[in-house]
């Protein structure tokens, strides 16, 4: 009787006919400070119904795409390796069926799952990454698998020169130093995005958006607010540039922690970012 909230708005086709498959990963098992990203996928599905499926920015409508919402993975808390394995298998299933995975986290560590599956299929996989934090630590509090190390673990999969980071505004000095040798890291802004996208137009690209790339005035719903980020108009411009990519093979939005923003604004920002990203890159 009341289907609102059980799927993300516009994701109402069947798995078989779909071009892209959405799944949620309610996992925040390595979050050391303030947990809560586990609540993001359900919150986003529910509040997406306050949005239109039509984008006046792109003059496109989610209803015109074939999109399926798989629901959430039931990942075990307290076993990050098993959680990552489940995510990787889910991704494998989707790409085996010739579809594009679209993931809602959860904490940023979950991004390692799709990358592991996709980097097997695409030898030349490139990463475009938006974040407040470098996430390039070798390990964090003695653990190699963590939200603070996830891009370093992704680097272990894809290798030198494949990771492109934008808008980074926090990290250890040694992370910034290490980055100079191994990845493309732009601090604070995304002025080099356009040029990077040009070189990747037809390459297989995975896009990962840690939503704390937004300024906390725009997006307070995060466990680690870091002032100095981008605003929503910046994100629209970023997405407009990303829309030129011809081979986006997967994408995710992660790190919404909806309970830290009772007004619902952060969830709305996350939903609209996902709507615009999907409309721009799923072709």
> Which residues lie near a copy of itself (CB under 8 A)?
1-2, 5-6, 28-33, 35-36, 38, 42, 50-52, 54, 56-57, 59, 61, 70-72, 74, 76-80, 141-143, 145, 168-173, 176, 187-188, 215-218, 220-221, 224-228, 231-233, 236, 260-265, 268-269, 272-273
How far apart, in whole angstroms, are the C-alpha atoms of residue 188 and residue 133?
10
Helix (H, G, I), strand (E, B) or coil at 168: strand
Q: Are 55 and 235 in contact (CB under 8 A)?
A: no
Annotated binding residue 234: no
Q: Which of 100, 4, 14 is nearest to 53 (CA)?
A: 4
Could you tell me the smallest distance in angstroms from the CB atom of residue 35 to a copy of itself? 4
Q: Closer to a copy of itself at the Cβ: 74 or 123? A: 74
Q: Closer to a copy of itself at the Cβ: 202 or 233? A: 233
Could you tell me the smallest distance in angstroms from the CB atom of residue 205 to a copy of itself? 24
Distances in Å between the Cα of 259 and the Cα atoms of 7, 41, 264 are 20, 12, 9
76-82 long-range Cβ contacts below 8 angstroms, 24+ apart:
77/27, 77/29, 78/29, 79/29, 80/27, 80/29, 80/30, 80/109, 80/145, 81/145
How far apart, in whole angstroms, are the C-alpha atoms of residue 180 and residue 36?
33
Annotated binding residue 212: yes
How far apart, in whole angstroms, are the C-alpha atoms of residue 13 and residue 119?
27
Phi then psi for residue 110, to 5 deg, are: -60, -20
Annotated binding residue 139: no
Q: Are 157 and 122 in contact (CB under 8 A)?
A: no
Could you tell me the smallest distance in angstroms from the CB atom of residue 201 to a copy of itself? 27
Could you tell me the smallest distance in angstroms from the CB atom of residue 84 to a copy of itself? 11
How far apart, in whole angstroms, are the C-alpha atoms of residue 150 and residue 127?
12
Annotated binding residue 129: no
Q: Closer to a copy of itself at the Cβ: 171 or 250? A: 171
Dmax over CA atoms of the chain, in Å, equals: 56
Q: Closer to a copy of itself at the Cβ: 204 or 258? A: 258
Could you tell me the smallest distance in angstroms from the CB atom of residue 264 to a copy of itself? 6
Could you tell me the smallest distance in angstroms from the CB atom of residue 262 to a copy of itself? 7
Q: Which of 27, 51, 30, 22 is nearest to 39 (CA)?
A: 27
Q: Closer to a copy of itself at the Cβ: 53 or 119? A: 53
List residues forming the annotated binding site for Mn(2+): 108, 131, 133, 135, 210, 212
């Amino acid at each position: 009787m009341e289907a609102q909230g059980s799927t993300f708005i516009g994701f109402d086709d069947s798995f078989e006919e779909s071009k892209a498959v959405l799944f949620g990963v309610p996992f925040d098992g390595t979050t050391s400070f303030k947990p809560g990203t586990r609540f993001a996928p359900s919150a986003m599905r529910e509040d997406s119904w306050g949005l239109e499926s039509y984008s006046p920015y792109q003059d496109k409508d989610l209803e015109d795409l074939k999109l399926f919402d798989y629901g959430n993975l039931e990942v075990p808390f307290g076993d990050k390796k098993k959680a990552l394995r489940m995510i990787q298998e889910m991704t494998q299933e989707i790409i085996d069926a010739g579809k594009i995975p679209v993931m809602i986290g959860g904490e940023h560590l979950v991004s390692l799952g799709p990358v592991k599956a996709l980097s097997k299929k695409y030898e030349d996989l490139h990463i475009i990454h938006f974040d407040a934090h470098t996430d390039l630590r070798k390990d964090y509090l003695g653990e190699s698998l963590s939200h603070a190390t996830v891009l370093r673990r992704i680097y272990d999969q894809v290798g030198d020169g494949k990771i492109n980071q934008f808008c980074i505004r926090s990290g250890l000095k040694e992370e910034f130093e290490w980055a100079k040798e191994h990845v493309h890291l732009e601090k604070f802004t995304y002025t080099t995005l356009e040029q990077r996208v040009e070189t990747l137009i037809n390459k297989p690209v995975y896009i990962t958006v840690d939503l704390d790339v937004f300024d906390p005035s725009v997006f307070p719903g995060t466990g680690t607010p870091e002032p100095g980020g981008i605003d929503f108009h910046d994100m629209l411009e970023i997405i407009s540039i990303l829309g030129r990519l011809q081979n986006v093979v997967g994408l995710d939005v992660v790190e919404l922690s909806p309970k830290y923003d009772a007004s619902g604004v952060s969830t709305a920002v996350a939903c609209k970012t996902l709507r615009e990203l999907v409309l721009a890159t799923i072709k």
